[in-house]
Amino acid sequence: MRESGGRGQGPGRGAGGAGSQGGPGAARRTSGGPGRAGRQGGSSRSEGTGRPASPENPPRGPREGSDPLDLPFGRDAFRDDDRDNDRDDHRDNNRGRPPQDPGDEGRGRSRQGDGDRGRPREDRSRGGDARRRSRDEGEQPRGRGSQARDESDRPRGAGSRGRGSSAREDGDASRGRGSRDDDGDRLRGRGSRDDDGDRLRGRVQGHEERSRGRTDDRAGTRRDGGRPGGEDPRRRGPQEDVPSRRTPAGRSSAGGSRTGRGGDGPPPRGPRRPPPAPPRPPLVLRLGSPRRRINIGLIGMTFVLSIFAGRLVQMQGLDSKVYEAAAADQRQHTETIQAKRGSINDVNGHELAVTIEAREVSIDPTKVPVSIRAKAAAILGQQLGKSQQEIAEKLARTGTHYQLLARDVDPVVATRLLQARIPALSAKKTYRRLYPAGDLAGSLIGFVGDEGNGLGGMEQSKNSLLAGRDGEQRVETGRDGQRIPMTSSQRTAPVDGQDVRLTIDRDIQWAAQKSIGEQVRKSGADSGTVIVMDVRTAQVVAMANAPELDLGNWRKAPASSYVNKAAADVFEPGSTNKVITAAAAIEAKAVTPDTVYQVPDRIRCADQVLRDSHAHKMEAMTFRQAMAQSSNVATIMAARKVGSQRLYEMLKAFGFGSTPGGGVPSAEAGLLPDYKKWSGSQNCTVAYGQGVSVTALQMASVYQTIANGGVKIEPQIVAGTTDTTGRFVPAPAGKQTRVVSETTAKEIAMMLESAVGAEGTGQLAAIGGYRVAGKTGTADRYDAELGRYDGYTASFVGFAPADQPRLVVLSVVQNPKNGHFGGELAAPVFKDVMTFAIKSKKIPPTGSAAPPVRMRAGQ
């Protein structure tokens, strides 16, 4: 055994341990030489011992939450691995130091464990017996244990506070870690008493029991080699990894207490480090009770399922009928089956307006790829008669799924387009209104809009009769609009419209329209009108306007051409109105055709002077001659004998101021002020047709009444209709009203025949071989746009044959620029139309000659 001291026989945990060779702890090295040997009986100090308690050094208790002894190994590892531990301690303590020569031991640098190696085996085993006794006795030690460790292996690196005592060479009192060797005093530390040893042994025993499970693992780790460098995990403390600090005296603060090689006194002690913080216990996630989670989940599921169950009960039980109806409405779609519109025919059955089958071509722009749009636009534009740019713009509107390309497309063209396989192109079956005669009676017939409703003329006035009643079909369709096979359907058959047969004769209409059109162009007039009427029935045979509406291109025509001027335009009739004054005077027996008047060329009426139709000297005229030469002054003289009231009543009886019946579209009533409101001059001007307003249809009706022997018949434009079986049903005859006596009517007719004679103003209306009666008219024209009189209205109206009247023809030229007299502009139109109508109707001449009459006074 070496004198420098080493381990005792036991770990040096109490006074009962052997430790006669210097105690269980390593001798503390001093600068003077080797450390003193520990005293026998446990002069070393265990880890739990310390200096005596004092105010400067209060007693320490065990660290909270840590092992009282903090032993890294159990009793088996301690007993079996003593020798290995000594060698490891030696390596750990000398790690990082330069190699030592053998002479170092004499200078107090002896290695730890040398005492154990030089100690007999029985001394070493004695310490093991002491440990076993401590474990068996089960006493609870008050210190931290007396196992001796090398200072370099202490976990806290707190200088000389090892687990054994260290003697100091300079004789200083031990600071609770051992006894002084020179005076033999008892250890003042806790490990110097027997009772303290007992308590120490109990503490060791309790610690070993708690750390029994990990001792073998740590020992096994060390036996297997431990960490690189020979470090012993059992001997490393919490601050093992802290690097060593050098004090000014050459003492390591972390690797153990060591004096300098030439120092005389003890090395200075560094500041005491606080004990390491206890390791935090691992976080333990405490899970709730599984039963509670399951119960909560079941409650939630029950709540959700109850909501679904309630909703199902509501939908399938309470509201089942509502949802069933809603589902049916989604599947069922109502398709309108368009009824075929009835046709409009002339009196002989010739079609003036007819309905044919057509297609409505549309496309879904969203389904047309961009790459083929240009090609598709070119094909569609060429076939539909539209510009390629217009079609391309419609194909580019991808914000909608429906884009109408064209209506009224011929079925052959639509089939050709469908064969071109243009994506999303569809053709719907529709009907197209076709007008074979073009502009023939255009404004009278009217036209049909895009929605299938009449917008003018007969198309509008007889729309309900012509349109019929559309049918419908309820079918079930899918998402793509295709009909679902084998599903129920409800179909209501459409009722086609009825055909309307007019009183218009297509041929006479053409002749009238041609004649007035030419005269309007020649005279530079604004417009012209021709009406041909059957005397015996008052049926309108022709009703022509110039310019006429082209029904094939009505969308581009001006709005003024939509109006049927023959029935809607109101104008002052002028001299053609003198027949009513003559009828009132003759009917009142105030005058006769042979009554002579001294007629000047002007006459004062109230505050105005009215002039005759032409300047002349005072002249004696019969009333027949005044009518033939259209004398305004002679007419005023005859009207004064009648009076304003009777004249007004006669005008009313002939239809002035009231709308003519018979279903003529756009017919107006004209303007007939009450005689009580007539001005002073108006009492005179009304007699020759100024101050009242009529339509061409009204004036034609006046002459029809004279030609018909004084019986007025409401003008008729509709001859009849065809029922659903195709059978023709004639229209009821117009209302008949006697206005004047037959004698009066014949006398007036003879007076009108004189107006077309050699001395009359209507010579240009004469027709060879036929007796013609008629009257010219020239009136100042009131321009509503200007708000004053401007221009003239030239007119002529008559009938033929005069002795057996069959037809009445009226021609009116509005605001002509080349001439303005009715005998010059309107009479020739009358002649052309009457001649054609007579031949068309195959009306033969009567063969009789006009009876001689007295034209001038004195004859």
Q: How many Cβ atoms are within 10 Å of 211's Cβ, its own excluded?
A: 17
Residue with tokens 């409101």: 677
8 A C-beta contact, residue 599 and residue 719: no
Q: Which two tokens stand for residue 256?
A: 């153990």
For β-strands 711-713 and 736-738, DSSP reports them as antiparallel
Query: Which is the catalytic residue, given 166, 527, 561, 575?
Result: 575
Mean pLDDT of 102-130: 41
For β-strands 403-409 and 608-611, DSSP reports them as unpaired
8 A C-beta contact, residue 130 and residue 189: no
Report the distance separating Cα 19 and Cα 197, nearest Å: 13
> Is the model's pLDDT at 23 over the cut of 60?
no
Task: Assign 541 to helix, strand or coil.
Answer: strand
Report the distance separating Cα 718 and Cα 725, nearest Å: 19
Structure confidence at residue 552 (pLDDT): 87
Structure confidence at residue 816 (pLDDT): 95
CATH number of the domain at 335-478+487-501, please? 3.90.1310.10
Structure confidence at residue 2 (pLDDT): 38
Structure confidence at residue 275 (pLDDT): 83
> Is the model's pLDDT at 113 over the cut of 60?
no
Structure confidence at residue 480 (pLDDT): 64
Of 40, 325, 308, 333, the residue nearest 187 (C-alpha): 40
Question: What type of residue sits at position 86?
Answer: D
Task: Name the DSSP letter for residue 287.
Answer: -
- Non-local CB neighbours of 470 within 8 Å, separated by 6+ positions: 336, 337, 338, 339, 494
Structure confidence at residue 186 (pLDDT): 41
Residue 749: left (phi > 0), alpha (psi -120 to 50), or beta?
alpha
Report the distance separating Cα 149 and Cα 258, nearest Å: 15
Residue with tokens 């003289």: 637
Report the distance separating Cα 188 and Cα 170, nearest Å: 18
Report the Cα 73 to chain-centroid distance in Å. Answer: 82
Does this model's pTM top 0.75? no
pLDDT by residue (tens digit) across 524-578?
A: 999 999 999 999 999 999 999 999 999 988 988 988 889 999 999 999 999 999 9
The CATH 3.40.710.10 portion of the chain extends over: 507-550+565-841
Report the distance separating Cα 209 and Cα 201, nearest Å: 12
Bridge partner residues of 722 (DSSP): 728
Q: Give 185 or 567, the one with higher predicted confidence.
A: 567
Query: Which of 13-27, 255-269, 326-340, 658-672 shows the lowest per-residue confidence on average (mean pLDDT)?
Result: 13-27
Largest CA distance in the chain: 200
Provide, rounded to the nearest whole percent, the portion of the chain with pLDDT above 90: 43
Task: Assign 500 to helix, strand or coil.
Answer: strand
Would you state the torsion angle of the CA atoms of residues 184, 189, 190, 195, taken in this order, to the nearest 10 degrees?
20
Would you state the torsion angle of the CA atoms of residues 746, 750, 752, 758, taken in this order, to the nearest 10 degrees?
170
pLDDT by residue (tens digit) across 460-474?
A: 999 999 998 989 888
Structure confidence at residue 858 (pLDDT): 65
Q: How many Cβ atoms are within 10 Å of 128's Cβ, its own excluded?
A: 17
- Crossing angle for the helix pair 212-223 and 82-93, nearest 10 degrees? 70
pLDDT by residue (tens digit) across 576-603?
A: 999 999 999 999 999 999 999 999 999 9
Element housing 418 (H / E):
helix 411-419
Structure confidence at residue 632 (pLDDT): 92
Is there a cis peptide before residue 547, judged by omega within 30 degrees of 0? yes
Q: Which two tokens stand for residue 165?
A: 């005592």
8 A C-beta contact, residue 222 and residue 84: yes
Question: What type of residue sits at position 429?
Answer: K
Q: Is 693 a catalytic residue?
A: no
Residue 380 confidence class, pLDDT cut points 50, 70, 90:
very high
8 A C-beta contact, residue 94 and residue 255: no
Residue 662 confidence class, pLDDT cut points 50, 70, 90:
confident
The CATH 3.90.1310.10 portion of the chain extends over: 335-478+487-501
| Phi/psi of residue 313, nearest 5 degrees | -65, -40
- Has domain 507-550+565-841 been given CATH number 3.90.420.10? no
Report the distance separating Cα 246 and Cα 244, nearest Å: 7
Q: Give 723 or 644, the one with higher predicted confidence.
A: 644
Considering just the CA atoms, what is the radius of gyration of the chain in Å? 70
8 A C-beta contact, residue 64 and residue 70: no
> Is the model's pLDDT at 757 over the cut of 60?
yes
Bridge partner residues of 475 (DSSP): 333
- Give the CB-side neighbour count of residue 330, counting CA atoms within 13 A: 8
Mean pLDDT of 129-151: 40
Report the distance separating Cα 277 and Cα 254, nearest Å: 17
Would you state the torsion angle of the CA atoms of residues 390, 394, 395, 399, taken in this order, to the nearest 10 degrees?
160
Q: Is the dihedral of CA 391, 394, 396, 401 positive or negative?
A: negative
Mean pLDDT, the chain, whole residue set? 75
Residue 3: left (phi > 0), alpha (psi -120 to 50), or beta?
alpha
CA-based end-to-end distance of the chain: 197
- Non-local CB neighbours of 855 within 8 Å, separated by 6+ positions: 622, 624, 625, 628, 754, 759
Mean pLDDT of 827-843: 95
| Phi/psi of residue 518, nearest 5 degrees | -65, -40
Report the Cα 140 to chain-centroid distance in Å. Answer: 88
Q: Is the dihedral of CA 637, 642, 645, 650 positive or negative?
A: negative
Structure confidence at residue 15 (pLDDT): 37
pLDDT by residue (tens digit) across 475-531?
A: 888 766 677 777 777 788 898 999 999 999 999 999 999 999 999 999 999 999 999
pLDDT by residue (tens digit) across 229-267?
A: 444 434 444 444 434 444 343 343 333 434 444 444 565
Task: Assign 584 to helix, strand or coil.
Answer: helix
Q: Which of 55-69, 257-271, 649-663 has the highest mean pLDDT?
A: 649-663
